[in-house]
Amino acid sequence: MTPLQVIFIFVAAITLGAAVMVVTTKNLIHAALWLILSLFGIAVFFVILSAGFLAVAQVVIYIGAIAILMIFAIMLTRRIARDAGPQLNSGWIWAALVSAFLFGGLVWLMGNWEGFYRSLPELNPSLDPLNQLGQALVSPQGYIIPFEVASILLVAALIGAIMVAWDKQ
Amino acid sequence: MIPLAWFLIFSAALFSIGLFGVLARKNAVAILMGVELMLNSVNVNLVAFWRYLNPEWIAGQAFAVIVFAVAAAEVAVGLALIISVYRRRNTIVADDIDMLKF
């Protein structure tokens, strides 16, 4: 077993354990903190996959913005008495069954694919993924139109969010 | 050397955990957290396929960046709706929010 494999198993165990805590823990603030740990684990995976930009963006966007926004929303809508009760609805056993079947089905489906055990190809040393990504996002031969559409979507959604949450009184 | 299978099994597990959160949680903010876990597992898959299948072609990472933007938009609108519902109904339990107008 190589050191990278040991790191992978360690980080995967932490990430999946934190994800299980996110969906099962009673205290929602704790759930948000477990979510942050889980998102950090995914940032480590991006580093392992040599996607450095995405690892930084994961920390800045997900942990710095989205998780903090969630904590704000929890604190704005929290009721101590209501939080004490069960946090799972009565059909949770069916939800667990559906999730387990989905996992089994996905693994079975991917196991039938011949590329499943493909090993890591060498990166071409003359191509820097960060440089490539930056050029692809702003060049007309690349992905500038999807990127601009995503930007407009984000602006529209944020303005819409302000309008929806505006307290008119 | 890590085979591609490990990443795919990991993200399938993360997706299933997120789906369980979406289906089983009562609180609307917790449901959004489940959606975040699912979106993240999709991102891991996209980047893993980029790295293992075609590292010369950056489409996987570009798509992951767009998924980031859409996830941020989704969470902003979702939380704004939840806060707005909480102001009017004083609850964010998904089972209690079953009327279009009140």
- Inside any domain, residue A108: no
Domain that holds residue B92: 4-96
Q: Quick check: is B102 in a domain?
A: no
Q: How many CB atoms lie within 10 A of CB A160?
A: 15
Q: Does A138 touch chain B (CB under 8 A)?
A: no
Question: Which residues of A are less than 8 Å from B42 in CB distance?
Answer: none
pLDDT, tens digit, 9 for 90 and up, residues A17-73: 999 999 988 888 899 999 999 999 999 999 998 888 999 999 999 999 899 999 998
d(CA B68, CA A120): 25
User: Confidence band (pLDDT; 50, 70, 90) for A85?
Assistant: low
Per the CB < 8 A criterion, the answer to whether A22 and B23 are in contact is: no
The ipTM assigned to this model is 0.91
Among A83, A112, A142, residue at a domain's last position: A83
Q: Do B51 and A53 touch (CB under 8 A)?
A: no
> Is residue A82 pLDDT above 70, yes or no?
no
Please report whether residue B38 resides in a domain.
Answer: yes
* Same domain (yes/no): A78, A1: yes
Model confidence, pTM: 0.91
* Candidate from B23, B40, B47 with C-beta closest to A95: B23
Q: Does residue A95 sit within a domain?
A: no
Assigned domain for A79 exists? yes
Which B positions 42-101 lie with beta carbon below 8 A of chain A? 43-44, 47-48, 50-53, 55-56, 58-59, 61-62, 64-66, 68-77, 79-84, 86-87, 91-95
Cα-only R_g, chain B:
17
Q: How far is A62 from chain B (nearest CA, A)?
A: 8
**Total domains in the fold of chain A:** 2
DSSP H helical ranges for B1-102: 4-24, 28-53, 59-89
The pLDDT value recorded for residue B72 is: 92
Last residue of a domain, one of A26, A61, A83: A83
Interfacial A residues in 28-67 facing B (CB < 8 Å): 28, 31-32, 35, 38-39, 42, 45-46, 48-51, 53-54, 57-58, 61-62, 65-66
Query: Which of these, A142, A145, A7, A22, lies nearest to B40 by C-alpha position?
Result: A22
DSSP state of B94: G
Whether residue A81 has pLDDT greater than 60 = no
Q: Supply the pLDDT for residue B16.
A: 95
Is there a domain that residue B101 lies in?
no
Q: How many domains does chain B fold into?
A: 1
CATH of the domain at B47: 1.10.287.3510
- From A24, A48, A83, give the residue that closes a domain: A83
Q: Which domain holds residue A162?
A: 127-169
Six token digits for residue A52: 């450095």
B56–A22: do the CB atoms touch at under 8 Å?
A: no
Is A156 contained in some domain? yes
**A124-157 pLDDT, tens per residue?**
777 788 888 888 888 888 899 999 999 999 999 9
The enclosing domain of A29 has a CATH number of: 1.20.120.1200
Q: Which residues of chain B have pLDDT under 70?
A: 102
Q: Are A62 and B74 in contact (CB under 8 A)?
A: no
Question: Considering the domain boundaries, does residue A52 fall inside one?
Answer: yes
What long-range pairs does A18-21 form, CB within 8 A, spacing at least 24? A19/B14, A19/B17, A19/B18, A19/B37, A20/B17
Q: Is B100 exposed, middle or buried (0-12, 13-18, 19+ CB in 10 A)?
A: exposed
